[in-house]
Amino acid sequence: YKPVLSGAALRDGERIAHDAVMLKAASGATDDMALINPYCFLPAVTPAHAACIENVIIDKERLTGNYKTIRSRHDITIVEGAGGLMVPVTDDYLIIDLIKDTGLGAVVVTDTALGRINHTLMTLSVLKSHGIELIGIIVNRYPAEPTQTDISLIKYVSLFGGDNIIAVVPEVKSGDDFYDRFITCFKENIDIGGIIESLE
């Protein structure tokens, strides 16, 4: 489920929600894209601002309602956020509010770019302060030949983040078959069954 998406592509007059397309392909879900991604905006800005630009009112009930519908149809439901916990969805509603309203735990996805240690540890701190369960941390786009910056993220996020890294996903280079290679990489490196077992 991808509740809100900003920065969609426009192809032949049709909006392409890349993240939602990838989620649908990876899961094998047959749900309608309007259910999987109810709000899809062209401007690559925060969802609240994108909605304002496009003169759209985001309905919080629709966000949670779509989630409940998807959850009722599937054994596993993964919800992808948009930009981080404190990103505004509306003028009075943040991504973290949506997490609380759905009662979900959080998987924090990060990468090893400069500054991500700080960003990741602050995200963990915000989750804790709001009483949201941390399911684990996924380090994404990890290079085949890691630099000291890459290595340091693994070290210090593990050290200060409670050793909660559950997967390190290698970088997938862009190309025509990117989606297929990304999905294969995801399945090879993230043990969804193991995560579910740990939650149970």
User: Among all residues, which ones are annotated catalytic?
Assistant: 2
pLDDT digits (tens, 9 = 90+) for 50-93: 999 999 999 999 999 999 999 999 988 999 999 999 999 999 99
- Other residues' Cβ atoms within 10 Å of the Cβ of residue 70: 17
The label of the residue with tokens 């009075």 reads 92
Q: Is the dihedral of CA 80, 119, 89, 46 positive or negative?
A: negative
Q: What percentage of residues in the chain have a pLDDT greater than 70?
A: 100
Question: How far is residue 43's CA from residue 52's CA, in Å, rounded to a whole number?
Answer: 10
Question: How far is residue 26's CA from residue 180's CA, in Å, rounded to a whole number?
Answer: 9
pLDDT digits (tens, 9 = 90+) for 152-178: 999 999 999 998 999 999 998 888 888
